[in-house]
Structures are given as C-alpha cells and as structure tokens.
Structure 1
Amino acid sequence: MTLLDKDGVRVTVDGAVATVTLADPARRNAQTPAMWRALAETGRLLPGDIRVAVLRGEGVSFSAGLDRRAFTPEGIPGEPSFLAMARGDAASMDALIAEYQEAFTWWRRNDLITVAAVQGHAIGAGFQLALACDLRVCAEDAQFAMRETSLGLVPDLTGTHPLVSLVGYARALEICTTGRSVHAAEAERIGLASLVVPVGELDAAVSDLTAALLQPPRAAVIETKALLRGAGERGYDEQRAAERAAQARRLRDLAGLSD
C-alpha cells in the first residue's frame, strides 16, 4: 500500500514494515524543504502497527545532501533561500530551522526501529538523515561526509548528537571539520555502519535484518530501545532502576496483570 508519494518522498507499507524512499534520483535525492515537510508528514501518518521503518534512496546515491539551489539568491522555487533566512529575525530563523529538523526526529521513536539502507553518497543532510535512524546497513560503495563546515555552516539537522554517540567527540570533530569522506569499510570499523555488504546484496541484507527485528515481541523491543536510548543520560544506579522498572512491567504483562 502506498501511504504517501510527493515532493521526492514515497512511502509504502507492507504489514508491519514501512519503506520510506527518497525518490528524486535525477538529483541524487538532493533534499529540499518540501522533501523535509513530506518526511515529517510521514512520521505523523505511519499506522500504529508499524514496527520497522526502512529508509532508502532511489538510484545510485542515498542522498547527495541539500539542494544547492538553496545557496543561490533565487533559492529553490517557493522556498526561502539561505540569504532570505539570514535577513530574518532570530526567532523566525530559529522556528524555520526547527521546522526543518522535524523531518529528522521521529525516526528515534521508541515504538519503531528504523534502518537506513545506504548506497553511494550520503552527504551533509543525507549523512544526517542516515544518522537519524537506529541502524545503518551500507553497500560497499557508501560514502559519508559532513560538508557543512566547509561551506561556512554547521550540521543543524540533528546529526551532531548521534554522530558523537556513535564515534566519540574527537572523531566526530575531525569528520565534521575536515569534511572528508568516510567510506563504508571505515564506517563499519568506527561504528557508523551496523553492516556492510556488496552493492548487489543491500536489499537482501536489509530484508534479512528487518525479518530478524520483527521476531521478538513488540513490547519487549520498545522497552529495550527506551532503556538503551536513555542509558547515556542516566547514571549507573539510575539505569539499574530503569531496568528493574522495565522488567517489572514486562513480567506483569506476561502474567496478564497489566493495567
């Protein structure tokens, strides 16, 4: 079933799995504000029984990043250019960037496990969109790069927090400030990629992973994701308490004693 198909985003649903496809291969899935609004809408539209959301890019690249027309005085038709944004007041600029960030936030919800299937380039906004997902399965030709600093900007689409969490502060700083490419083999070695496979095996690998993610009871997966996501912000004793509370909920549920 097709749930949404507009502005370079196509969403299909098959049972408990939603596939979100960046569908503008002629532009290597360059991202626009319209695409971000469609991605944010996707998060609101997903049926409640979806357990896994797979994000992929159509064509040779996952996403080559922000549509460069945003940097021109004319901008992207119907959208404010960066120059126009700079002329606005601080509150308006903050609100606009916050709106753009919504496309990158819902992937972290505890009721879903999200998987980015990455081939070719994942640059800038493309890198940050892959980072928004819980897991990244990469083809051997995948290349990540954070080019914002090279353009005089900063990564502002929620990518800095997961990048530091995955690879540590020093390596994240080096990747962002140099703008260099991180190829698939390195991505797997430093923890950016969960799995790297030959290009022709990407779809099969994602399908296998999705099937495995659907095997455990959903409630146990949701509780486990919540525990792991919060572990970095909790102290050791706080995490122990969170584990006890989660396990008590699971035991009551399995015993048929849930409220």
Structure 2
Amino acid sequence: MASPAQDLGPVLDKDGVRLTVDDAIATVTLAAPEKRNAQSPAMWRALTETGRLLPGSVRVVVLRGEGRSFSAGLDRQMFTPEGIEGEPTFIDLARSSDGDLDAAIAAFQEAFTWWRRSDLVSIAAVQGHAIGAGFQLALACDLRVVTDDVQFAMRETSLGLVPDLTGTHPLVGLVGYARALEICATGRYVGAEEAVTTGLANLAVPAAQLDATVQDLATALLSAPRDALIETKALLQGAAERGYDEQRAAERAAQARRLRDLAGLGD
C-alpha cells in the first residue's frame, strides 16, 4: 500500500525538478532526461524552493537524476548570445553593477546550500555524467553513491570561468588542495574508482544496484536517534575549522546536551 505522502503525489514538480516525500525520506529528482538534466536558473530556483518545502518529518534527502546522466552541467543555451528566454544572458549579467552581479550569483548558489543543513543527511545518487554544475550539485550533498560508469568533471576553468556554485569548499575538503586544483584546472574526468579512492564518493556500485544501495544507506541513517545524528553531524562539519582543544570542548558540550536529554533534563 502506498503511504499517504505518496498518495498526495509530488510536493513539487516544475522546471525539471520533482520532490516526493515518503515519511522521513524525501527524494529530489532532476527530471529533464531529454537534456541530460542540464541546469538553468529556473531549475536552480526550483531546487531552492524544494529545500523550503521539506516537511519537518524529513531526515534524509536523496538527490537523483533521471536518465543516463545525473547532470551534464549548465544548459548550453546559457552560453549563446540569445540565452534562455526570460533569463538574463551571461552578457547581461556581466554588464550589471557589482552589487547586482553578486546578488545574482548568490541567488544561483542558494540551490546548492541547503543540502548540508544540520537536521538532514543528503545523499547524491550519481550515474553517468556529473559535469560542472552537476559535479557541484553532487558535492553539495553530504554523501555520494555512484555507479561504475560515473564521470565527474569540473569544466568551468576550461570555459574561462570558475566553479562558483559552492563546489570548491567541499572539493578541497574531500580530496585536498593539490588534487582539487588539478581536477579543476585540467577539466579531466574522474571515474568511479578514483572517486572512491580519493573520498569523492562513499560507494561505487553497478547501475542496476544504485537505487537499492541508496535506499539501504538511507534506512541505515534513520536507525540512529535524530537528535544524536544532528549533534554528530554538527561536530563533524565544524571540526576542520576548530582547533583540537576547541573540538574537545564542542564534543563535551554536545555530549552534555545528549546526556541531559536522555535523562529527561533537557530544555
């Protein structure tokens, strides 16, 4: 029998993005396979809206792409003089004021920021190509499960641009500065074996096993009490910015909150 959330159908379904919710697990699907899930400002606005629409019951978010590719990157129409109808072209953006240009890019980035919220764990299920903006969207998630045929690439530098959709921070954190620079500067492809070896991906599986593997991982994540997972995620997220003694203090404070909560003495 379908759950009530499934009976209601998608919570959101527009501009190549579909959100469905099944109790504690939400699934965000890039649903433009005819374009290999190429991304546009409209898709980014829909992804931003998706984060705002998540019910409070959701603890795990799965991000996936329909078709053979997770996401082939930016919609190539954005590189043409005509651009995408109803959207500013790259030339329009370049001619805008410093403040307007900064605000436009910041708005684009909003689609990539909410995946690391402390109350959620996000999993990117990545198959085929994850190029440029597609690579950065996968990097926006906490965890990545990939297929054996995955091809990551950061092509922005090759196009005279930079990766500006929040991908540089997690990339350096995962693989280190030198490898991140080499990946971005050359624009080369990173396959499944290297992705797992370097920490870009948690697991690599045959394509036929991707959905089941992600479902098993989501179920395992739900086995831990929610508040304990939230505290643990926050500790790990802040570890790189804290010194050793600061991290020890953060651990003590987090554990004190958990002990008091388990003893019924929390706020």
Structure 1 vs Structure 2 CA RMSD:
0.4
Q: Does 1:132 align with 2:174?
A: no
- For residues 106-156 of structure 1, what are the alpha-carbon distances to aligned partners after superposition, in whole Å with 9 as ceiling and x for unaligned? 001000000000000000000000000000000001110000000000000
2:248 aligned partner:
240
- For residues 213-244 of structure 1, what are the alpha-carbon distances to aligned partners after superposition, in whole Å with 9 as ceiling and x for unaligned? 00000000000000000000000000000000
Residue 68 of structure 1, CA deviation:
0.8
Q: Does 1:200 align with 2:208?
A: yes
Q: Does 1:48 align with 2:68?
A: no
- For residues 67-103 of structure 1, what are the alpha-carbon distances to aligned partners after superposition, in whole Å with 9 as ceiling and x for unaligned? 0111111001110111111111111100000000000
Gaps of 5+ in 1: none
Which residue identity does 1:220 align to in structure 2?
A: A
Q: Residue 115 of structure 1 aligns to a residue in which SS? A: strand
Q: Does 1:32 align with 2:69?
A: no
TM-score, scaled relative to structure 1: 0.99
Q: Residue 176 of structure 1 aligns to a residue in which SS? A: helix
Residue 162 of structure 1, CA deviation:
0.1
2:237 aligned partner:
229
Which residue identity does 1:148 align to in structure 2?
A: E
Residue 251 of structure 1, CA deviation:
0.2
Gaps of 5+ in 2: none
Q: Is the 8 A contact 1:71 1:83 kept in 2?
A: no
1:178 aligned partner:
186
1:217 aligned partner:
225
Q: How far apart are the structure 1 equivalents of 2:41 and 2:192? A: 28
Q: Does 1:23 align with 2:63?
A: no
Runs of 4 or more, structure 1, over 2 Å off, are none
Which residue identity does 1:130 align to in structure 2?
A: A
- For residues 180-213 of structure 1, what are the alpha-carbon distances to aligned partners after superposition, in whole Å with 9 as ceiling and x for unaligned? 0000111001000000001110001001100100
TM-score, scaled relative to structure 2: 0.97
Q: How far apart are the structure 1 equivalents of 2:109 and 2:26? A: 21
Q: Residue 40 of structure 1 aligns to a residue in which SS? A: helix
Q: How far apart are the structure 1 equivalents of 2:158 and 2:92? A: 21
2:122 aligned partner:
114
Q: Is the 8 A contact 1:62 1:126 kept in 2?
A: yes
